[in-house]
Structure 1
């Protein structure tokens, strides 16, 4: 019997609750329905600088670089430089032993003097017709031959002195005094480090925006707190079909000498800068398919507005169309919003209302 009374009691409580929360009254009138407000937080659309840039990696090389070698076989007789020495164009680097060639030059010069004297005598005698003109012509031709022979011997002698082809910095010596060297034997490297080139590749889509004179920011892990300014000097004439990129070369003023050939560099190419770009917090965006929206508050209710995005940065995104500077957009509570839903604006740091 007591179980029947318990069931009747539960049914009575359920009926009372249904009567209390029903949307009608005893007189048959429907009770008014109130929508729950969604707590939200707002942030203003601000103006800021947006820089469009692309990053790449590159490798440095000297403005001019060569490995100095000899043109002829010989014994190293003199070493005229120190490792790391800065030299000007024409500075002697090494001299090969040239005693034999010096003797050959002296002999050729003596023959040249004799030939010139013989010609002078013949020309004097030809004026009194004591020497035939044909003999004078033969002596003149012999003089030319002897002159050419001297020039050839002097050229061979000059090859025994190896000089710097341009101004730069010498590397580490690779030969010793008395060593036998032959054509192609490396003596030392020479690099012009007053300006350093950086080789890097950029996507072909940027080809129309690249041109000599474009300024770049270049950094090296060797100098983490320093940014180097580079200027594009040339853009490749061909696109790599494998990577769809174009080779680009920039130069850095390196007169103070911190950079060396072969260094790994990170390159930032600044394509444009907009100092009055419109920016909103990234969390304000509400994506729907391929379109982007934000919520604004109009008359106490949420109003969805479509926007066009530009550059993305850390925590912010550029707005190209759809908003103006100073507009307020919803940054927290967007997940529960729908167009026209009433909202309750909360101050930053406030605890959202329980729902």
Structure 2
């Protein structure tokens, strides 16, 4: 019984050993065959590292503000008796907007006008009498004072009436009306927003490290999300008098023309301050950069002799990148002008992969 069991075990060992040995032999033969096969050449697109002249830039996030903007409010209280505008319309400076009840002030004006006329008559009479020495100097002085007081009362009435007839303080666009006819309002009640849209201010801050790079008159360009692809140009017109000690930033204000009035106060935009001087930089297409957490790199195409034949291979190169403008990325270190970098097809590459570049430069 034991002998038969041993025989079965030996047979199984020989059987499985043969199968395992055959598998090893097959893998060995396959490895040998692959070892003698040529490494496949990957078709890629490539571009040269280019030296360009760029204007240095300072970037920031800014907010548009009206050069003239105000919430129209009354100085005196009362019931609204007239509304002479429509929400959203353009008005010129001095245009009547709202009338507050002025009936009492008109009555007061009529009374004060009568007092002024009487004071004027008394003054003329006293001047005639004093010429004939029928009146004293003190009587003339009193008549003059009474007349001047009456004139001042009339002027005060006119000033009060002007405050009750609210007009546009400057030309601009009105917002949404916030009061109704017959409503009683008090001083400071918001009635309507008035803004001037052309030009606009752009307010932003820059760190003190960039302070020496900007000055009044420096050009700026602003991009807003509402109008992708459009750039609005202007220039710096004012700078803060001191650095903010809490943030170490300085306030900067630029003026941007808005002739089509498509921008609005309160919008935010990406501001680029463009220096006048030029500096030379190395650039590559953004598609050439492979970004990862371990460091950015590119594949550089170099010539190498393999088996006596000159070939092109792709080698990884760690690079340090700077700013990006459009489709170009600044290279601070890692590349030289004129070197060839892969711009398409990197996903098929590894260190030392043979590559070919079609005549068109595109894979």
User: What TM-score comes out, normalization by structure 2 length?
Assistant: 0.67
Distance 1:189 1:101 in 2: 27
Counterpart contact for 2:53–2:281, Cα < 8 Å? yes
Residue 113 (structure 1) shift: 0.7
CA deviation string 1:156-193 (max 9, x = no partner): 22211111111111111111111111111111111111
Distance 2:178 2:320 in 1: 60
For residue 269 of structure 1, give the secondary structure of its aligned residue in structure 2. Answer: strand
Distance 1:134 1:46 in 2: 96
Distance 2:49 2:256 in 1: 39
What are the ranges of 5 or more consecutive residues in structure 2 without an aligned counterpart?
Answer: 1-40, 290-299, 304-309, 311-318
Q: Tell me what 2:201 maps to.
A: 197
For residue 243 of structure 2, give the secondary structure of its aligned residue in structure 1. Answer: strand
Distance 1:142 1:349 in 2: 102
Q: Tell me what 1:213 maps to.
A: 217
Counterpart contact for 2:222–2:232, Cα < 8 Å? yes
Match of 1:175 among 172, 176, 179: 179
Greater shift in the superposed pair: 92-101 or 130-139 = 130-139
Distance 2:54 2:102 in 1: 67
User: 1:262 aligned to 2:266?
Assistant: yes
Distance 2:243 2:50 in 1: 40
Residue 133 (structure 1) shift: 2.9
CA deviation string 1:56-108 (max 9, x = no partner): 22222211111111111111111121111212222221111111111111111
Distance 2:159 2:47 in 1: 81
Residue 320 (structure 1) shift: 9.1
Distance 1:77 1:280 in 2: 68
User: 1:348 aligned to 2:357?
Assistant: yes
For residue 205 of structure 1, give the secondary structure of its aligned residue in structure 2. Answer: helix
Q: Quick one: structure 1 residues 330 and 105, their matched pair in 2 at CA, closer, same or farther if it must change by over 3 Å?
A: closer
Residue 255 (structure 1) shift: 2.3
Residue 131 (structure 1) shift: 2.4
Residue 317 (structure 1) shift: 4.3
Residue 50 (structure 1) shift: 3.3
For residue 194 of structure 1, give the secondary structure of its aligned residue in structure 2. Answer: coil
Residue 234 (structure 1) shift: 1.8
Counterpart contact for 2:49–2:335, Cα < 8 Å? no
Q: Tell me what 2:80 maps to.
A: 76
Q: Quick one: structure 1 residues 310 and 127, their matched pair in 2 at CA, closer, same or farther if it must change by over 3 Å?
A: same
Match of 1:99 among 76, 84, 103: 103
Distance 1:115 1:267 in 2: 65
CA deviation string 1:14-43 (max 9, x = no partner): xxxxxxxxxxxxxxxxxxxxxxxxx9x997
Match of 1:235 among 236, 239, 242: 239
Counterpart contact for 1:296–1:330, Cα < 8 Å? no
CA-based RMSD of the aligned residues comes to 4.0
Q: Tell me what 1:291 maps to.
A: none
Q: Higher strand fraction: Structure 1 or Structure 2?
A: 1
Greater shift in the superposed pair: 233-242 or 161-170 = 233-242
Match of 1:88 among 67, 92, 99: 92
Distance 1:125 1:315 in 2: 95
Residue 151 (structure 1) shift: 1.6
Counterpart contact for 2:94–2:168, Cα < 8 Å? yes
Distance 1:312 1:157 in 2: 61
What are the ranges of 5 or more consecutive residues in structure 1 without an aligned counterpart?
Answer: 1-38, 284-293, 301-307, 337-344, 351-355
Counterpart contact for 2:214–2:273, Cα < 8 Å? no
Distance 2:170 2:273 in 1: 32
For residue 145 of structure 2, give the secondary structure of its aligned residue in structure 1. Answer: helix
Counterpart contact for 1:295–1:334, Cα < 8 Å? no
Q: Quick one: structure 1 residues 213 and 131, their matched pair in 2 at CA, closer, same or farther if it must change by over 3 Å?
A: same
User: 1:61 aligned to 2:65?
Assistant: yes
User: 1:112 aligned to 2:116?
Assistant: yes
Q: Quick one: structure 1 residues 66 and 173, their matched pair in 2 at CA, closer, same or farther if it must change by over 3 Å?
A: same
Distance 2:113 2:136 in 1: 27
For residue 76 of structure 2, give the secondary structure of its aligned residue in structure 1. Answer: coil
Distance 2:251 2:276 in 1: 21
Report how many residues are paired. Answer: 293
CA deviation string 1:249-292 (max 9, x = no partner): 22221121101121121222233664864546877xxxxxxxxx
Q: Tell me what 1:225 maps to.
A: 229
